[in-house]
Amino acid sequence: MLASTERSHWLASYILPNEHIVRAWLARFPDFEADDIIQEAYVILSEADISRVSNPVGYFHTICRNLVLRHYKKAQIVNVTALADLQNDSLIDQTPSVEEIANARAELRFLEDAIQQLPEKCRSVFIDRKINGHSQKDCSKKLGISESSVEKRLARALVLISKLYGQREKDPQKAITGLARGNRRLS
């Protein structure tokens, strides 16, 4: 499809887990929908030469920043506070986001919480398909529901997890101790 599997895994590993940081920064610009900027940024990332990107989150932030600037120019309006924020460019430390990226433990915790928050019907389908590895057809037989229902519940689960990724907040208590954290929020 649009993205090669490898690129999609790259987005899943490096962008998605840290997307909320950029979303929090985007919330400063009330003139735009954060979703619009994020979606456009994913398209740009899907076409970029990611093999040269050493700091994926920093790169993602830069893309979003440029998109915000472009939208302001296009709209020919400049919010003074917003402009100051853009000039400060203080969201992300440009050092490589090593430990943050490698923090698989936090990622697993997040996924575990996300799965627990799914409605029962969605959760059982999601677990059967994504964790137990059964095909949608087998899930429908096992759960005694139509394949169409399996597909819909799976899609619903994806949407809910998608929302949780967008709203995600880091829990400092859950962070691994003893490691310096890259991509820290500076403001």
Interface residue with another protein among 30, 31, 35, 78 (CB under 8 A) is: 35
By beta-carbon proximity to another protein, the closer residue of 89 and 151 is 151
**Cα gap 15→105, rounded to integer Å:** 16
Q: How far is Cα 101 from Cα 107, in angstroms, rounded to an integer?
A: 9
Q: Which is nearer to another protein, 9 or 185 (CB)?
A: 9
Using CB under 8 A as the binding rule, whether residue 185 contacts another protein is answered as: no
Q: Is residue 136 part of the contact set for another protein (CB under 8 A)? A: yes
Tokens of 123: 């959760």
Amino acid at 11: L
Stretch that binds another protein, among 32-40, 58-66, 69-77, 81-89 (CB under 8 A): 32-40
Element containing residue 80 per DSSP (H, E): helix 80-88
Pick the closest to residue 14 from 97, 119, 122, 78 (CA basis): 97
The CB-side HSE value for 85 (13 A sphere, CA atoms) comes to 21
Report the residue number, 156 or 170, with the smaller CB distance to another protein. 156
Whole-angstrom distance, CA of residue 47 vs CA of residue 44: 5
Which residue in 163, 174, 184, 185 binds another protein (CB under 8 A)?
A: 163
103: left (phi over 0), alpha (psi -120 to 50) or beta: beta
Does 115 interact with another protein (rule: CB under 8 A)? Answer: yes
Which spans of this chain sit near another protein (rule: CB under 8 A)?
Answer: 1-3, 5, 8-17, 35-36, 38-43, 45-46, 54, 56, 96, 98-99, 101-105, 107-108, 111-112, 115, 126-127, 129-133, 136-137, 147, 150-152, 154-156, 158-159, 161-163, 165, 176, 179
